[in-house]
Amino acid sequence: MKEVYRKFGRVVRREDAVLIRAEEAGEAWEDGDAFGCYPVDSVRELPDLDVDAVNATADAIRRLYGIERVIVSDGVAFHEFGGISWSERTRRIHVWIAGDRHRAFIGLADFNVAIIERVARAMKHLEVRELAHYRVAENVGAWILPLLSLRIAVQQWAAPHDGKGQWIENRRVVMSEEPPNWWRPSYRARPVRKWFHRRADDFGEIDESLPVAIASTSGGFLCVDGERSFLTPAQLDNVRAVRSTNTWYPQGAGCFGAELVL
């Protein structure tokens, strides 16, 4: 049976010093093993986007130490599939920060740049130090959560719509099972089954006195301990404590922040 999906979207995106405005309308169809997609001429009224906030955020980030690349975007999209219509508003920051020998990446779903400022400061002077234990900041915990789903208890958090407009139910993530929901990163890509909005179950106690990993880099975790910053190997085998947060991060089909003790 042929299934048809339509998307209407608008985005304003700042890539380093270049501001890009784009609108798209597209249609995708599936029929058994066959898949196709193409742009359409349909027009839909779309709300205005916050260009000033995009520019201000990008400018603030570009003034920081070691900024190699910045992408800041504000977007809106309307979706139609199987008689269901829904909309979403998205904000994204993707930043690459380069130190002497290593590079850190940060992905956020809001325009709060505090963690980017902290990482940029820490990248200036790095030592290498192997730690027996350390805690992990929520932004790092969110980005490694898919890797930890075989080691700790994780739930899929409920939300209204997946890539086919269906309800995303609150249920335990079982990696040996096929996810029940569909993720559609673009109308140009065939949807795939994914676990949505992963959220770790809390357990144990978070030791606030431990050094904290604030970013994942090409050389391991970037940790800070007072005024000192250093790289330590990323060891994920022994999770001693977890405290979930309500901040959502754009890792795959979404993960909530998670503070960890490793």
Could you read off the pLDDT of 137-175 as tens digits, one per residue? 999 999 999 999 999 999 999 999 999 999 999 999 999
The pLDDT value recorded for residue 219 is: 87
pLDDT category at 197 given cuts 50, 70, 90 is: very high
Q: What is the pLDDT of residues 198-254, one digit of tens each?
A: 999 999 999 999 999 999 998 899 999 998 999 999 989 899 999 999 999 999 999
**For residue 239, what are the contacts with CB-CB under 8 A and spacing of at least 6?**
148, 151, 152, 260, 261, 262
Percent of the chain with pLDDT over 90: 89
Per-residue pLDDT at 40: 94
Q: Where are the beta strands (DSSP E) in the chain?
A: 3-15, 18-31, 34-39, 67-81, 84-98, 103-108, 127-128, 135-136, 154-156, 171-172, 181-183, 192-194, 198-200, 212-217, 220-225, 228-232, 241-249, 255-261
Please determine, for residue 100, whether its predicted confidence score (pLDDT) is greater than 90.
Answer: no
Percent of the chain past pLDDT 70, that is, above it, reads: 100
Task: Count other C-beta atoms under 10 Å from residue 96's C-beta.
Answer: 14
The residue range of the domain holding 241 is: 3-261
Q: What is the spatial distance between Cα 252 and Cα 23, in angstroms, rounded to a whole number?
A: 23
**Lowest-confidence region among 40-44, 154-158, 257-261:** 40-44
Among the listed residues 213, 177, 199, the one whose alpha carbon sits nearest the alpha carbon of residue 253: 199
Pick the residue with more confidence: 227 or 195? 195
Number of domains in the chain: 1
Q: What is the mean pLDDT of residues 100-117?
A: 95
Query: What is the rounded average pLDDT of the residues 76-89?
Result: 96
pLDDT at position 193: 97
